[in-house]
Amino acid sequence: MDPNFVPAYNYLCLAYLDKEMYQDAIAAIQKAVNLSQGDPSYLSLLGSAYVAAGMRDKALEILAELHEISKQRYVSSYLKAAIYPDLGDIDQFFEWMERAYQERNWQLTNLSGPESGRVDSDPRFKALLKRMGLE
């Protein structure tokens, strides 16, 4: 593996999360964050990895960082939304997903990702899919 190929660390993190190897997942995605100079997509996954590892406060710090970055440049509403199911805040998830929908955010195609398992029984999820023409 090319040690500077950032996307590889993203997928490595996802594999570690799937195997419940949380510290390894955090280390992998932190490497992506560092190499990408704080790219919000990798920060968002770092926040989710922190929650999975039981480090809720660290995840909240990442969420605050994403909101702070968005004052200076565009940060996808989807990336903010993605952390909320892990934190157990489904209402915030749908608030930010609604913003992502209004933005016509391409990342909505990821709705079958890890967060959907925590929200797919919520009627708002089905309504969002319907508005997107996916149900």
**pLDDT for the residue 86:** 86
Give residue 59's domain range. 1-73
Report the chain (135 residues): mean pLDDT per 10 consecutive residues: 91 96 98 97 96 96 97 95 92 95 89 66 89 81
User: In Å, how far are 26, 42, 49, 66 from 13, measured between CA atoms?
Assistant: 7, 10, 8, 19
One-letter identity of residue 38: G
Question: Residue 113 has what pLDDT?
Answer: 53
Structural contact between residues 85 and 122, judged by C-beta atoms closer than 8 angstroms: no
> What's the whole-model pTM score?
0.88
Q: Which of 46, 73, 100 is the last residue of a domain?
A: 73
Judgement on whether residues 80 and 108 belong to the same structural domain of the protein:
yes
Q: What CATH number should be reported for the domain holding residue 28?
A: 1.25.40.10
CA distances from 112 to 37, 93, 116, 129 (A): 28, 14, 6, 11
* Same domain flag for 131 and 86: yes
Contacts of 129 (CB under 8 A, 6+ apart): 111, 135
